[in-house]
Every structure is written in C-alpha cells, then in structure tokens.
C-alpha cells in the first residue's frame, strides 16, 4: 500500500515537473536557467507593467447601452486623444466584426468579462485571397463600421482597394498601437504589429499563422487553441517576423496550448514558423511555463519558414541567442504531454 502510494506520488511529480532540458534538440531547443533569465515579461514590454484591470473601470463600454461595435469605441477613444490610458469594456456577446487599431499615442486597454474570456468572442472569417471589394462588403456592410475620417479608416481603406487583401487585412484584430492591452477576451486570428503589447487571461483561436507580426508582445495566462473547423488537421500557431536586430518578439508565459479534435488526432500543430517577410526578418519567440497538450507534430514542432527556409535550432552550449544564422525559437520549463 505504502509502496503504491509512493509510486503514485512519483508519477504525479514527474508529470508536473518539466522534462524540458537544456540545450534541447536540433528540432526543439530549450533554454538553460541562466539563458531564460534574460527573457522577462518586462523586457518584452519594454519596461511597461500593465496594472490590474478594475472591473468598474470603463471609459467606453461596448454592448447594451454603450457603443454597438468595438471599432466605434476604439475610434472614440483615439479621437479623444491624450496620453492617459483609456479602458474599453466589452460586454458579453459575439462580435462578428473586425477591430483595427491604428498607431496612436493613446494607450488603450480592451477587456471583456473578468474571469470569463469565452463570453466576449470576437470572430469573423476572411481569407487572405479575397478581393478588397468582396472583403469590404463583408466587413463593412452599408459602411456601418468604417467611415472616412475615422482613425481606422486608412487601415480599412488600404485593404478595400486591393486586388487581393493579403494576410494583415484578413486578421480579425489588427493591432498597430504600442502599449496596447487585451484581457479577458476570445479573439480569432489577431495580428500584432505594435511594440509592447500585452494579452492576458484570454483565448486566442485560429489555424494558420494565427498570431503573427513584428511586435514585441506578451501572451500571459492565455489559452491558445488551434481550430479545425475550416476544416483542417494541421495548424501553425505563431508566425513572428521580428527584425533580426530586435531581441524580443513574442513571449507566451503560463499559457495553455491545445487543439480541436481533428488536429489533435493528427498531432498536427506546429508551434511556430518564421515569417520571412523580408531578408531582415528572423522571428523571435519564447514559450515558457506553459502547458502543452499532446497536439504537437513531434517531428517538426517548428515548421519551415514561410520562405521555405528549414528550421535551424541552435543547440551549441555557448550559443549566442541572437545569432541570425539560426531560428530564435525557444522553450523553457513547459509541461504537459506535448512538452
Ligand atoms: C443595409 O441596408 C439595407 C437597405 O437599407 C438593409 O436592408 C440591410 O439590412 C442593411 N444591412 C446591414 C448589415 O446593416
Ligand atoms: C490551462 O489548463 C489547465 C488545465 O486544464 C487549467 O487548470 C488552467 O486554468 C488553464 N489555464 C488557462 C490560462 O486557462
Ligand atoms: C514585418 O511585417 C511588417 C508588416 O508588414 C513590416 O512593416 C515589417 O517591415 C516586417 N519586418 C521585417 C523584419 O520584415
Ligand atoms: C542580442 O541582441 C540585443 C539587441 O540587439 C543586444 O542587446 C544583446 O547584447 C545581444 N546579445 C547577444 C548575446 O549577442
């Protein structure tokens, strides 16, 4: 009896402890404790420390009694100007609309239902190959979301006049602002461009390159779910195009990575691929202290870059973590059967 108990305790401990050991393998490099120390949330957020969101704090409210769409509240907050953070509270609901956040000096926080990110769902499906005309009919019916003169108009209009909209315009949330915060929301297909973007206590869903861009951004306590409904049995979660001189791209910390059934059964998830949008892009990411479900393609946790460049993991013991001859995708202290 005592022995059985010991076996159970041992099993529990070994399941909870991370098996990820430095320096990892060619296909899956792992940071040492001393290497990991360099990659803090504060460094990714360039010194900004988002404060806790008070549930009663709302400069703008979206939903019953407030703005009817998120974009209108974002526009209003930007038009109001200033450098004081503005809080946009989104009431529970399914928001079939885009949220385009242009570069602005107004720091914004968009938050949903505290403790219940599933209640605030921002979802719309557009393919990157659509024409601008077809796209604008879907995302701006009757001109009800985007109007000339609005802060988000240039972003919208640039997409609407394209022959083919391309990746950024096909995102649901396209965030160009710096010091931008999202919390307690469910978002499908965001593209994050600004510097120091913080996403916490949220859920992000998508299928291919569904979190992408050159941002330095932190995803904390956030569930990442690869969706299978379009339909598919493979997925790529992150596609950073961090400039190779910039040390910090994406950080996923205390997150959960999982996938819907068809992808899970196929072990079809690639964690990351480099988005080689220009020769000076070499995406950077660290996934740490997270739970990774048995959904990962174990032969290729990291996929070839969008340019076709093969994944190249640096497992030299005295490695330079910025070395642009290698990919800069790292993991540290992850647990779960996919870690
Ligand atoms: C657009 O306007 C037409 C005509 O007024 C109306 O029938 C339709 O419901 C509107 N569509 C949306 C999405 O507002
Ligand atoms: C991740 O999953 C675990 C186990 O299902 C759960 O306890 C935890 O709350 C989840 N984390 C987040 C950020 O949702
Ligand atoms: C990454 O993508 C953005 C948006 O297209 C672009 O502005 C930036 O130059 C790209 N960065 C690199 C290093 O290619
Ligand atoms: C990595 O790059 C950053 C930013 O350019 C620099 O500050 C840092 O010293 C570099 N680290 C190494 C080990 O080269």
Distance, in Å, from the CA atom of 274 to the CA atom of 241, rounded to the nearest integer, reads: 6
Domain annotation covers residue 256? yes
pLDDT band for position 17 (cuts 50, 70, 90)? confident
Among residues 301, 275, 282, 285, which one has the least CA distance to residue 209? Answer: 275
Percent of the chain at pLDDT exceeding 70: 95
- 143 Cβ closer than 6 Å to some ligand 1 atom: no
Please write the tens of the pLDDT for every residue from 30-45.
999 999 999 999 999 9
Find the mean pLDDT for residues 128-149: 96
Among residues 227, 230, 297, 301, which one has the least CA distance to residue 261? Answer: 227
8 has pLDDT over 90: no
Find the mean pLDDT for residues 276-297: 98
Please write the tens of the pLDDT for every residue from 171-215.
999 999 999 999 999 998 888 888 999 999 999 999 999 999 999
13 has pLDDT over 80: no
Please write the tens of the pLDDT for every residue from 227-258.
999 899 999 999 999 999 999 999 999 999 99
pLDDT, position 15? 54
Domain annotation covers residue 233? yes
Ligand 3 is surrounded, with C-beta below 6 A, by 214, 241, 243, 277-278, 280-281
pLDDT, position 3? 53
pLDDT, position 133? 97
Beta bridge partners, 180, equal: 197
Q: Is 18 exposed, middle or buried (0-12, 13-18, 19+ CB in 10 A)?
A: middle
Cα-atom radius of gyration of the chain, to the nearest Å? 20
Mutate which of 176, 277, 280 for ligand 3 pocket (most atoms within 8 A of beta carbon): 277
Find the mean pLDDT for residues 59-83: 96
For residues 226 and 207, is the Cβ–Cβ distance under 8 A? Answer: yes
- 166 Cβ closer than 6 Å to some ligand 1 atom: no
Distance 246 CA to ligand 4 centre (A): 8
Q: Which of 5-14, 189-198, 277-286 has the lowest mean pLDDT?
A: 5-14
| Count helices and strands in the chain by DSSP H and E runs | 8, 24
Q: What is the atom index within ligand 1 of the atom nearest the CA of 144?
A: 14
Distance, in Å, from the CA atom of 240 to the CA atom of 214, rounded to the nearest integer, reads: 6
Ligand closest to Cα of 138 equals 1
Domain annotation covers residue 152? no
Distance 240 CA to ligand 3 centre (A): 9
Find the mean pLDDT for residues 247-274: 98
Atom 7 of ligand 2, residue of closest alpha carbon: 256
Q: What is the atom index within ligand 3 of the atom nearest the CA of 214?
A: 1
Tokens coding 8 = 């159970």
Domain annotation covers residue 35? yes
Please write the tens of the pLDDT for every residue from 310-322.
999 999 999 999 9
Domain annotation covers residue 141? no
- 141 Cβ closer than 6 Å to some ligand 1 atom: yes
Ligand closest to Cα of 203 equals 2
Domain annotation covers residue 113? yes
- 322 Cβ closer than 6 Å to some ligand 4 atom: yes
- CATH number of residue 297's parent domain: 2.160.20.10
21 has pLDDT over 90: yes
100 has pLDDT over 80: yes
Atom 2 of ligand 4, residue of closest alpha carbon: 247
- 221 Cβ closer than 6 Å to some ligand 2 atom: yes
Distance 170 CA to ligand 1 centre (A): 23
Find the mean pLDDT for residues 258-285: 98
Mean pLDDT of all residues belonging to the chain: 94
209 catalytically annotated: yes
pLDDT, position 5? 56
For residues 294 and 339, is the Cβ–Cβ distance under 8 A? Answer: no
Among residues 259, 252, 274, 273, which one has the least CA distance to residue 331? Answer: 252
Q: Give the number of other CB atoms < 10 A from CB of residue 294.
A: 14
Tokens coding 123 = 């979802």
Distance 256 CA to ligand 2 centre (A): 6
Pick left, alpha or beta for residue 275 (phi over 0 → left; psi -120 to 50 → alpha; otherwise beta): beta
Q: Of 150, 207, 209, 303, which one is the catalytic site residue?
A: 209
Ligand closest to Cα of 282 equals 3
Domain range enclosing 229: 22-126+179-332
2 has pLDDT over 80: no
Among residues 145, 232, 248, which one has the least CA distance to residue 192? Answer: 248
Give the helix/strand (H/E) hosting 191.
strand 190-192
Mutate which of 117, 221, 256, 287 for ligand 2 pocket (most atoms within 8 A of beta carbon): 256
Q: Comparing 167 with 275, which gets the higher pLDDT?
A: 275
What residues contact residue 326 under an 8 Å CB cut-off, 6+ apart?
312, 313, 314, 319
Atom 5 of ligand 4, residue of closest alpha carbon: 245
12 has pLDDT over 80: no
Domain count, the chain: 1
Three-state SS at 339: coil
Distance, in Å, from the CA atom of 42 to the CA atom of 200, rounded to the nearest integer, reads: 14
Distance 235 CA to ligand 3 centre (A): 22
Distance 22 CA to ligand 1 centre (A): 59
pLDDT, position 10? 53
Domain annotation covers residue 237? yes
Domain annotation covers residue 131? no
């Amino acid at each position: 009896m005592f022995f059985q108990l010991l076996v159970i305790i041992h099993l529990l401990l070994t399941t909870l402890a991370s098996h990820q050991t430095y320096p990892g393998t060619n296909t899956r490099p792992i940071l040492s404790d001393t290497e990991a120390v360099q990659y803090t949330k504060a460094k990714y957020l360039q010194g900004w420390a988002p404060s806790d969101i008070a549930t009663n704090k709302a400069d703008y409210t979206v939903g019953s009694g407030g703005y009817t769409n998120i974009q209108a509240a974002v526009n209003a907050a930007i038009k109001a100007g200033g450098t004081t953070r503005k809080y946009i509270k989104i009431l529970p609901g399914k928001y079939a609309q885009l949220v385009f956040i242009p570069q602005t000096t107004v720091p914004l926080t968009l938050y949903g239902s505290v403790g219940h990110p599933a209640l605030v769902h921002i979802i719309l499906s557009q393919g990157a190959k659509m024409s601008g005309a077809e796209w604008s009919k879907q995302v701006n019916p009757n001109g009800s979301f985007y109007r000339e003169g609005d802060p988000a108009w240039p972003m919208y209009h640039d997409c609407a006049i394209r022959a083919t909209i391309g990746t950024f315009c096909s995102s649901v949330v396209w965030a160009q602002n710096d010091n931008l915060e999202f919390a307690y929301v469910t978002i499908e297909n965001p593209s994050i461009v600004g510097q120091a973007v913080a996403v916490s206590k949220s859920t992000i869903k998508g299928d291919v390159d569904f979190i992408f861009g050159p941002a330095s951004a932190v995803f904390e306590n956030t569930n990442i779910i690869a969706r299978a409904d379009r339909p598919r049995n493979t997925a790529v979660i992150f596609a950073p195009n961090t400039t190779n001189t910039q040390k910090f791209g994406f950080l996923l910390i205390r997150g959960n990575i999982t996938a819907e059934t068809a992808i899970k059964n196929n072990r079809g998830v690639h964690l990351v691929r480099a988005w080689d949008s220009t020769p000076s892009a070499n995406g950077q990411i660290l996934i740490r202290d997270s739970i990774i479900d048995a959904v990962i393609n174990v032969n290729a946790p990291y996929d070839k870059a969008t340019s076709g460049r093969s994944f190249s993991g640096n497992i030299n013991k005295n490695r330079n973590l910025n070395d642009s001859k290698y990919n800069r995708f790292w993991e540290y202290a992850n647990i779960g059967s996919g870690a």
